[in-house]
Homo-oligomer: A and B are copies of this chain.
Amino acid sequence: MSETSRLTETFNQTDYQLVGHGKRNASVLKEAFENVDEHLESDRYGSGKVIEDFQAKMALLTGKDTAVFFPSGTMAQQIALRLWCDEKALKKVAYHPLSHLEIHEEDGLKELHNIQSVLLADKDRVIQLEDLTGLKEEIACLLLELPQREIGGQLPSFETLEKISAHCRSKGIKLHLDGARLLEVLPYYNKSAEEVCALFDSIYLSVYKGIGGISGAILAGDSEFIEKAKIWKRRYGGDLMSLYPYIVTADYYYEQRADRMGEYYEDAQELAILFNACRGVNTLPPKPVSNMFHVHFHQPKAQVAELLSDIQQQTGIGIASYLKEVDDTTCSYEVSMGDLYRNIPEKQIKTAFRLLDEKMKQLEEDS
């Protein structure tokens, strides 16, 4: 067995895991539907009580006129950007070089809409006001991702957000929020979703990240914008006959977890301290600002995979199910805190991190 598949296997065999809400399996759906009346009527191509009620709840949450449920955030965000480009008759938008749209969507925005992207800021930091004021090209829309996932979930200050928002308004640039993890950043900002969303013209949020649903996304904005978004949703084939399997689960887990984002944030900070105390290990950001961060191990991937597998087998604590090679001497993985962390006996966590520190030291000494 390769080191990598052993890592996944030992992770899956542990009694406790540091990260997440639990396995992504049919129990996620079955639990959410257990107490759902079998007579609950399906939505039909975007209409019906089950979809309309949840959309209304999300409109209220974000403080926007209205909201629409999409099968995916990819679809929702491309459509949002297209609409803002159409409004300004300018096919140019700006976002971070590691935006989901730039690196995970096979260039859908460009291929389907012929929209050009202007990449703001360096890859390893978040967008600041100066990136925008220094921009020579005209753009229709700026997309901000909060937190910036690919760099461990970093955030600009709320003051910076306010300044960027004011700048965009003064220049006629629409501001779109990639808030896949919107709820997850509220504890750090100490703001309501509505207060954050008020700075933006349109909002996307995911129902399967911190909320832990199965799939799906919300796009919120003013009524005219959302009416147009619904037409594009039809064009994309996103107006499914029935979306209720995703909506019912989204609503069920939203009710369970929306109020726990503060806990996940605290837990992320606590866990990051444990990682940073280990030899040759550090987190990005050093002090998490949401429920997520990246862990960097300064040893080659194969050795770290072996070391983590051993710890997982020895302690029954799942640390990582995969590792990504950064370079020959560094590897990393992503942590998203969820329900599982607080179930772990403290003593076992301590043992796991003591072992991690010892084994990383040993590796360093051996190399």
Q: Chain A residues in contact with chain B, CB under 8 A?
A: 23-30, 33, 36-42, 44, 70-76, 78, 105-108, 111-113, 208, 214-216, 231-232, 234-246, 248
Contact = CB atoms under 8 A, between A and B. Distances in A.
Contact of A44 (B24, B39, B111, B231): B24
A277 B177 CA distance: 61
Contacts of A216: 240
Given A106-B235, A235-B105, A236-B75, A26 B112 contact: no
Contact of A248 (B26, B39, B73, B232): B26
A232 to B, nearest CB: 8
Contacts of A41: 23-25
A26 B72 CA distance: 22
Contacts of A42: 24-26, 28, 214
A89 B239 CA distance: 29
Most chain B beta-carbon contacts within 10 A, residue among A23, A38, A243: A38
A49 to B, nearest CB: 11
B26 A241 contact: no
Given A25-B38, A214-B242, A246-B245, A73 B237 contact: yes
Contacts of A107: 235
A102 to B, nearest CB: 13
A240 B72 contact: yes
Given A26-B42, A112-B113, 12 more contacts: A25-B42, A26-B38, A42-B214, A72-B241, A75-B236, A75-B238, A76-B237, A105-B234, A108-B236, A112-B112, A236-B237, A237-B238
